[in-house]
A and B are shown apart, each in its own frame.
Chain A
Amino acid sequence: MPKFLGPVAGFGVTFATMFKKANTEYYPYEKKVTAPRFHGRHQLNRYADGLEKCIGCELCAWACPADAIFVEGADNTDEERFSPGERYGRNYQINYLRCIFCGLCIEACPTRALTMTNEFELADTSRASLIFTKEQLLAPLYEGMVPAPHEMYPGTTDTDYYLGKVTAAAPGTVTQGQPRDPAEAHKQGTEAGR
Chain B
Amino acid sequence: MGIEEKLPSGFLLSTVEGLAGYFRKGSFWPATFGLACCAIEMMATGAGRYDLARFGMEVFRASPRQADLMIVAGRVSQKMAPVLRQIYDQMPNPKWVLSMGVCASSGGMFNNYAIVQGVDHVVPVDIYLPGCPPRPEMLMDAIIKLREEIQAMPLGVNREKAARAAEQAAMKALPTIEMLPASARRGAHELNPGIPVGHAPEGGAR
- A residues touching B (Cβ–Cβ < 8 Å)? 22-28, 31-32, 65-70, 72, 80, 82, 90-91, 93-102, 120-128, 130-131, 133-136, 138, 147-149, 175, 177-180, 182-183, 185-186, 189-190, 192-193
Verify B106–A91 contact, CB threshold 8 A: no
| Majority SS at the chain B contact face | loop
Pick the contact of B51: A24, A96, A182 (CB < 8 A): A24
Is there contact, CB below 8 Å, between B106 and A138? Answer: no
Known: A179-B190, A190-B197. A135 touches B183 (CB 8 A): yes
B residues apposed to A, CB below 8 Å:
48-51, 54, 102, 105-109, 111, 118, 120, 126-132, 134-138, 140-142, 144-145, 149, 180-198, 202-206
Instruction: A67 to B204: give the CA distance in the assembly, Å.
Output: 9
23 cross-chain CB contacts under 8 A: A23-B49, A24-B49, A24-B50, A67-B206, A68-B205, A69-B205, A90-B195, A91-B183, A93-B183, A96-B102, A98-B102, A98-B206, A120-B137, A123-B127, A126-B128, A127-B105, A133-B182, A135-B186, A136-B186, A147-B191, A180-B193, A182-B188, A186-B184
Residues of chain B lying within 8 A (CB to CB) of residue A65: 109
Across the interface, do A183 and B131 meet the contact criterion of CB distance under 8 Å?
no
Besides the contacts A123-B145, A179-B193, A182-B195, what 8 more A-B pairs have beta carbons closer than 8 Å? A66-B102, A69-B205, A90-B192, A123-B128, A148-B191, A175-B190, A180-B194, A185-B193
Which residues of chain B are within 8 angstroms of A31 by Cβ–Cβ distance?
A: 137
A101 & B131 in contact (Cβ 8 Å cutoff):
yes
Structural contact, B138 and A121, CB atoms closer than 8 A: yes
Residues in B with CB closer than 8 Å to A123 are 127-130, 138, 141-142, 145
Note all chain B residues with C-beta closer than 8 A to A69: 205
Q: A93-B205, A133-B182 are in contact. Are A127 and B128 (CB under 8 A)?
A: yes
Known: A99-B130, A123-B141, A133-B182. A189 touches B50 (CB 8 A): no
Residue among B120, B203, B205 facing the most chain A CB atoms (10 A cut-off): B205
The 9 residue pairs across chains A and B that have the minimum distance between CB atoms: A179-B190, A189-B197, A100-B132, A123-B142, A70-B204, A66-B109, A97-B106, A182-B184, A70-B205
Chain B residues whose C-beta falls within 8 Å of the C-beta of A67 in the assembled complex: 109, 111, 206
Task: Give Cα A80 to B206, complex, Å.
Answer: 29
Chain B residues within an 8 Å CB radius of A179 = 189-190, 193
Name the residue of chain A whose CB is nearest to the CB of B99: A97
Quick check: B106 and A127 within 8 Å, CB to CB?
A: yes
**Could you tell me the distance in whole angstroms from the C-beta of B146 to the nearest C-beta in chain A?**
8
Pairwise interchain contact B106-A98, C-beta atoms closer than 8 A: yes
